[in-house]
Amino acid sequence: MSAPERIVVLGFGPVAARLVEDLLPAVRAGRVLVTVVGAEVHAAYNRVLVADVGTGRTAPEAVALSDAEDLAAEGVEVRLGTAARRVDRARRTVLLSDGGVLPYDRIVFATGARAVVPVLRGLDFAPHGEPRLPEGVVALRDLDDAAALLPVVRSGGRVVVLGGGILGVEAALAIREQGARAALVHHGDIPLARALDHDGGRLLSAALAAAGVDVVPQARAVAVRLEEGRFTGLELGDGTVVPGDLLVLSVGVRARAELAEGCGLTVDRGIVVDRFLRADTEDRVFAVGDCAAVAGRPPSGLIGPGWTQAAWLAKYLVEHPAPGFLDGPGPAAPAVDPLAEERPGIILLKARGVDVAAGGDVSPGPWDSAPWGGSPQRVAVWADPQQGRYCKMVTVDGVLTGFVAVGMPRTAAELVLLYERGAELPADRSTLFRLDDAALSLPPAPAGPDDVLCRCSGATHGQVGHAVGEGCTTVEQVGASCRAGTGCGGCRDRIEALLASAASTV
């Protein structure tokens, strides 16, 4: 038997954890040796839920995705608290921060992304390195950030969140929900401006205010106020100071690609890879997740596409050995395109009492004409601001191409299902608007066993139903069985409903 192929994985976040997990059968069979290098002292955990840990809604151990001791017992070498300093592609080695040198036959960059630190007086701007933030300023990217936020929330302090994207909005709502005070400061006119249209964004702003979040729109932050080295307030361009006990930076992320660039790989908004995640022409270097720009696309920043890439790459690495490990003349062309596996991007706001779902292009208005030469488009809108409800559907040839639903959870669930299926909408769009009308109580279309329940993992209703039927009684047990509920957490309510339904029939 020939020596096993050595695969080194740089980075130990959620995507790397999925890759290593899917490589375990080959490790057990002695076909590959896997070494994973993580700069943090913690094994992989779900970064999407760091805000939940920081607000006390979730325990740190509940977001763990891997156990270093279990992996070591399976034969995986895990290097925690160790950073990769340099990759020598000519010698196929990795120089580590502890002075060690790792040889490899193939290497996977899963280095993820770091938080963007805005150019503000009082902050250390470091676009290509880890920033040194003053006390009381965090980015909510790791468990150390969560540990800094937790005492402020528990003491009922005031947290300023800078950034109106999905993570910033969720963080502000979670902080307020746990009894602390929150201010959401953002540059644009509405939050979630990339996903919502103007009317949907205005209604979301009203919902945030009703939930007790102080919303500060159209704000240009210029400086952080510090007293004895600790954050006390965020200064705006008009001289206003938004006071707080802690500042959460949520203004985007940037791919960690410096290591790849230093070894001669092409970098443009991420490590440039082809549709099969290859960063070189020798079939030895790959990149996945938030550090990878796949086929000209910037990293999505979502955990679902990263897990799809990791699952595909694990299969490819096992089925297509590196040069020198081939039984035949050379690797066959990949049979499946990993990008074809990606599902449409959907934004789901995870907050109690504030329901928002959006997907696709929602820029067309009801009276806009279709682009010249394009198929006829149709836009239907329902708005009832006093009741906190808004919905917009954009269709082309009857198929949903974009939607927004605010304060209409049943309509949103149906639209998500139709969007993912690529199904045609009913001719009378008002039947969808009426799903949230308690007086009419129109039932939504039932989900089929092959319909996706968890967009992050790809787990279907059928797989979750099977897990429940096999005796799973908690979301965590279902996640261990089929990975549903282990990503962004947006499907937890549906899994809990299935568990409750199963329990009521026993």
Whole-angstrom distance, CA of residue 418 vs CA of residue 416: 6
Q: Are residues 109 and 25 in the same domain?
A: yes
Whole-angstrom distance, CA of residue 68 vs CA of residue 486: 18
Q: Are residues 241 and 272 in the same domain?
A: no
Q: Are residues 247 and 142 in the same domain?
A: yes
Whole-angstrom distance, CA of residue 435 vs CA of residue 114: 41
Containing domain of residue 457, as a range?
Answer: 447-506
What is the total count of domains within the chain? 4
Instruction: Please state, for a pLDDT cut of 70, what percent of the chain lies above it.
Output: 91
Q: Is residue 348 part of a domain?
A: no
C-alpha distances in angstroms, 249 versus 24, 51, 79, 221, 288? 37, 12, 29, 11, 25
Residue 253: phi and psi, rounded to 5, are: -135, 160
DSSP characters over 438-458: TTT-PPPPPPPTTSBS-TTT-
Q: Are residues 42 and 102 in the same domain?
A: yes
- pLDDT at position 304 is 84
Tell me which residue of 276, 315, 278, 272 sits closest to 292, measured CA to CA.
Answer: 272
Q: Are residues 227 and 157 in the same domain?
A: yes
Q: Hey, what are 413's tokens? A: 């669930």
Q: Is residue 118 part of a domain?
A: no
Q: Are residues 37 and 102 in the same domain?
A: yes
Length of the chain: 506
Confidence of residue 50 (pLDDT cuts 50, 70, 90): very high
Q: Are residues 141 and 245 in the same domain?
A: yes
Number of Cβ within a 10 Å radius of residue 392: 24
Q: Is residue 121 part of a domain?
A: no
Q: Are residues 91 and 15 in the same domain?
A: yes
Cβ 294 vs Cβ 358: under 8 Å:
no
Domain boundary among 251, 279, 307: 251
Q: Are residues 231 and 309 in the same domain?
A: no
Whole-angstrom distance, CA of residue 439 vs CA of residue 14: 43
Q: Hey, what are 301's tokens? A: 């920043």
Q: Are residues 177 and 208 in the same domain?
A: yes
Q: Are residues 158 and 242 in the same domain?
A: yes
Mean predicted confidence (pLDDT) in 377-382? 92
443 contacts: CB under 8 Å, gap ≥ 6: none
pLDDT tens, residue by residue, 449-498: 877 777 677 788 888 888 888 888 887 788 778 877 777 777 777 787 78
pLDDT tens, residue by residue, 78-99: 999 999 999 999 999 999 999 9
Q: Is residue 346 part of a domain?
A: no
For residue 438, the domain's CATH number is 3.30.390.30
Q: Is residue 129 part of a domain?
A: no
pLDDT tens, residue by residue, 153-170: 999 999 999 999 999 999
Q: Is residue 126 part of a domain?
A: no
Domain boundary among 233, 251, 269: 251
Pairing state between β 221-227 and 113-115: unpaired
Crossing angle (nearest 10°) for helices 475-482 and 461-469: 120
Task: Flag whether pLDDT at 102 surpasses 50.
Answer: yes
65 contacts: CB under 8 Å, gap ≥ 6: 14, 17, 18, 43, 44, 45, 46, 486
Task: Flag whether pLDDT at 343 surpasses 60.
Answer: no
Q: Are residues 281 and 370 in the same domain?
A: no
For residue 307, the domain's CATH number is 3.50.50.60
Mean predicted confidence (pLDDT) in 255-265? 95
